[in-house]
Amino acid sequence: GENVEQHPSTLSVQEGDSAVIKCTYSDSASNYFPWYKQELGKRPQLIIDIRSNVGEKKDQRIAVTLNKTAKHFSLHITETQPEDSAVYFCAASSGGFKTIFGAGTRLFVKA
Amino acid sequence: DADVTQTPRNRITKTGKRIMLECSQTKGHDRMYWYRQDPGLGLRLIYYSFDVKDINKGEISDGYSVSRQAQAKFSLSLESAIPNQTALYFCATSDSDSLYGYTFGSGTRLTVV
């Protein structure tokens, strides 16, 4: 069946460095790719998303890139801060119920 | 603020007991979902509903049932709880084409002993 692979499972960076999380999806019909941030003990919250007709989207320190040919998409966080520490989930959706989540990346930002 | 509310926040129950988790939303969304989160496994879909008369199984529906009492309410039941149903459960909502992301509830941490 369809799946989304997310790497790495754990990422540790120094404050101020960049962090990159990568996802690969299998369903060619996927056309919407959201990213969620889940802080400890909290609910996942949408932080950025990208649609299949766009290759890159940026919002302040976070950006997402999409390569539909390779079925890859990535989250980039620049100038990381301790409050960026959280679990990040990627997802791929073709609309309807078919939103498949990656297993998550636990990001640690060391001060 | 429009939101998604889950009750209870935490629950400990015994094996074999029936338990219901409740979700209500003020987002005005038609679509509601129940997910289960386990460490290292991400979010897995249990059931979803696109409107009051529409209920569908997700990838891990065995041992669970749901009820969509109204557009704003979607409850999840464990008919006879077992220890491997110990997990964090999230309700989520989305708009009619699901292409603007999900709004998640605050979660219910369920422990079955």
**For the purposes of burial, counting CB atoms within 10 Å of the CB of B59, is it exposed (0-12), middle (13-18) or buried (19 or more)?**
exposed
pLDDT tens track for B67-108: 999 999 999 999 999 999 999 999 999 987 667 789 999 999
Length of chain B: 113
pLDDT per residue, tens digit, chain A (111 aa), is 679 999 999 999 999 999 999 999 999 999 999 999 999 989 999 999 999 888 999 999 999 999 999 999 999 999 999 999 999 999 999 876 678 999 999 999 999
Beta bridge partners of A108: A12
For the record, the structure tokens of A40 come out as: 């400890």
Segment 23-82 of chain A within 8 Å of chain B by CB: 31-32, 34, 36, 42-46, 49, 51
- Closest-CA distance of chain A to residue B16, Å: 27
- Touching check for B60 and chain A: CB below 8 Å? no
